[in-house]
Amino acid sequence: MSDSADVPTVFAGLLPDGWASMTFEPFREGVDICHLLRGAPALALLRYAKGASVPRHRHTGLETILVLSGSQSDDRGRYGAGALVLNPEGSVHRVWSEDGCTVLIQWERPVEFVD
């Protein structure tokens, strides 16, 4: 007998730009989200409009970001398409995109906003 937890979830055709046709909804001002997996861990696509930002927050678990298009910046630098960013538990930063971007993001546990 197969349990639904044994069945993988597959999102075929995300690259090079298949993610662009997926359904997004508002997340924060200027940032839209496409939920791929809800809960903990969570997996989503975030699409930042030009100049959009996310306020300072603390990671309560590992956050993994893969920049799919454009560039995303945080307090430590600017990351272009293809960059993989790992933010460890306990790290704090704010995030923005000067030119707009789309990222694949995975949160091990929810973040805590500190501002």
**pLDDT confidence of residue 5:** 66
Domain boundaries, the chain: 31-113
Q: Flag whether the pTM goes above 0.85.
A: yes
Over residues 40-86, the pLDDT tens digits come to 899 999 999 999 999 999 999 999 999 999 999 999 999 999 999 99
pLDDT over 60 (residue 115):
yes
Across the chain, mean pLDDT equals: 91
pLDDT class of 1 with cuts at 50, 70, 90: very low
C-alpha–C-alpha distance, residues 7 and 92, integer Å: 35
Fold of 31-113: Jelly Rolls (2.60.120)
Please name the amino acid found at residue 1. M
Task: Concatenate the DSSP letters of all residues of 84-109 into one string.
Answer: EEEE-TT-EEEEE-SS-EEEEEEESS
Please name the amino acid found at residue 103. V
C-alpha–C-alpha distance, residues 64 and 43, integer Å: 9
pLDDT class of 33 with cuts at 50, 70, 90: very high
Strand locations in the chain (E): 25-28, 31-37, 42-48, 53-59, 63-74, 77-80, 84-87, 92-96, 101-107, 111-113
